[in-house]
């Protein structure tokens, strides 16, 4: 029986993977620091940022945050106690409760977004075409539609 060979990953792919990992780590580090400046945990900041875009049911929040709904309930409870989030009935289905950012919550979320310089500053050094190309490549990677390697 022949042993299966593990395919070798080319050096460029390895470098890209390492660079992506470094970008993600630096983003998370800065995000946690920005959250702490607003006396928020990273999870609270992510949830508040999502709710600043639109009210969402708890189950959908859990899906977006990739965590259990019971965890989302606790996070919403703490943000609600601070006046940053409120619960309200879903107009489409009054049995469902939506979590929504309050005006103060939207203000804090804007401040949080404005304080994230890590991604904004390096991206400013790229031309519009380069940013569009990077965006499109990242979308292809996330969609799983990128085929083959160089």
User: Which tens digits make up the pLDDT trace of 46-100?
Assistant: 999 999 999 999 999 999 999 998 899 999 999 999 999 999 999 989 888 999 9
Report d(CA 53, CA 112) in Å as an integer: 13
- pTM metric for this prediction: 0.74
How confident is the model at residue 24, as a pLDDT?
86
Residue found by looking up tokens 């949830």 in the block: 47
Per-residue pLDDT for 6 more than 90? no
Tens digits of residue pLDDT in 110-146: 999 888 877 667 777 889 999 999 999 989 988 874 4
Calpha distance 54→39 (Å, rounded): 22
Nearest to 89 by CA among 58, 48, 49: 58
CA atoms within 13 Å, Cβ hemisphere of 56: 20
The pLDDT of residue 146 is 41
Which structure tokens are listed for 43?
A: 């999870």
Q: What's the half-sphere exposure (Cβ side, CA atoms, 13 Å) at 52?
A: 19
């Amino acid at each position: 029986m022949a042993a299966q060979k593990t395919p070798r990953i080319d050096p460029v792919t390895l470098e890209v993977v390492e660079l992506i990992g470094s970008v993600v780590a630096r983003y998370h580090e800065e995000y946690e620091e920005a959250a702490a400046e607003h006396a928020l945990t990273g999870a609270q900041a992510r949830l508040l940022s999502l709710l600043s875009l639109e009210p969402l049911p708890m189950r959908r929040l859990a899906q977006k945050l990739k965590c259990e709904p019971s965890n989302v309930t606790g996070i919403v409870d703490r943000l609600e106690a601070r006046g940053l989030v409120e619960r309200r009935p879903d107009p489409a289905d009054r049995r469902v409760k939506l979590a929504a950012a309050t005006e103060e919550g939207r203000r804090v979320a804007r401040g949080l977004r404005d304080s994230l310089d890590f991604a904004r500053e390096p991206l400013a050094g790229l031309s519009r075409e380069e940013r569009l190309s990077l965006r499109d490549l990242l979308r292809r990677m996330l969609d799983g539609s990128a085929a083959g390697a160089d």
